[in-house]
Chain A
Amino acid sequence: GQNIDQPTEMTATEGAIVQINCTYQTSGFNGLFWYQQHAGEAPTFLSYNVLDGLEEKGRFSSFLSRSKGYSYLLLKELQMKDSASYLCAVRDSNYQLIWGAGTKLIIKP
C-alpha cells in the first residue's frame, strides 16, 4: 500500500529552527509537496520538490532524497504565526496526491 509518515506533533521555541520529517512509500513518484494548514483553514502551498536536493524559499526550505523516500521541511527564525499543521503529500504514478496526516507544530514564546 501507499504510505506517508510524519510526526503527529512537534514543539519548538520562537526564534528557533525546526525540521519536520516525511518518509514515503508510494507507487511511483512524481513530486513531493509541503502545505501549511492553520486550524480551521484550508491548506496553502509551501513548496514542491521533484529532484533531489534543497529548495529554499525565505525562512522555509524543503529537502528531498528520492533514493531514501525522505523529505524534510526546515523552518528558520520561527514566529508564533508558524503554529500550524504541516502536510506532506506525494504525487504517485497516477498523478494523484497521497497525503500524510500532518504534523501539528506548536510554537512557544
Chain B
Amino acid sequence: IAGITQAPTSQILAAGRRMTLRCTQDMRHNAMYWYRQDLGLGLRLIHYSNTAGTTGKGEVPDGYSVSRANTDDFPLTLASAVPSQTSVYFCASSLAGEGDTQYFGPGTRLTVL
C-alpha cells in the first residue's frame, strides 16, 4: 500500500441497507477525514479524527458514523442508506506540522436507490 486506499471503488445500494466504506492509510498520519462531494457543491466534511481513539462531527454528520480503532483505518458506516446519500465519498489524511495538508484517497462512488 502506498498512500490512502478506499474500498469499494463504487457501489449500488438499496435504500435501508447498511454499508461500510473502508479507508486505510500507510503514511502514519494522525488525522483522518471523510468528505462527500456532490455536483456544484464543495467538499463537505462528514466526520474527522485527529488521532486514534477520537472522532468528531463535521458539517454533515447525520446518517453516518465512524470509528478510529488504530492509526491506519477509518471506516465510514451508513446505518440505513437513503437516496440523498448518493455521492462520491473521499477519505483524506494529514500529518500535523506539514501545514496540515490533506492527502486524498481515490474515492468511492455510492448510489443509493
A residues in contact (CB < 8 Å) with B: 4, 31, 33, 41-45, 48, 50, 87, 89, 91, 95-102
CB atoms of B90 and A4 under 8 A apart:
no
**Cα distance A89–B106 in the bound complex, in angstroms:** 19
CB neighbours (8 Å) of B103 from chain A are: 45
Known contacts being A42-B90, A96-B58, is A33 close to B40, with CB within 8 Å? no
**Cα distance A100–B107 in the bound complex, in angstroms:** 18
Known contacts being A42-B107, A96-B48, is A4 close to B42, with CB within 8 Å? yes
CB atoms of B41 and A101 under 8 A apart:
yes
Within 8 Å by CB of B106, from A4, A42, A96, lies: A42
B63 to chain A, nearest CB (A): 19
CB neighbours (8 Å) of A91 from chain B are: 100
Closest chain B residue, CB of each to CB of A8: B40
B78 at the interface (CB under 8 A from A): no
**Cα distance A101–B102 in the bound complex, in angstroms:** 17
Closest chain A residue, CB of each to CB of B43: A99
Closest chain A residue, CB of each to CB of B48: A96
CB atoms of B107 and A101 under 8 A apart:
no
Known contacts being A100-B42, A101-B41, is A45 close to B102, with CB within 8 Å? yes
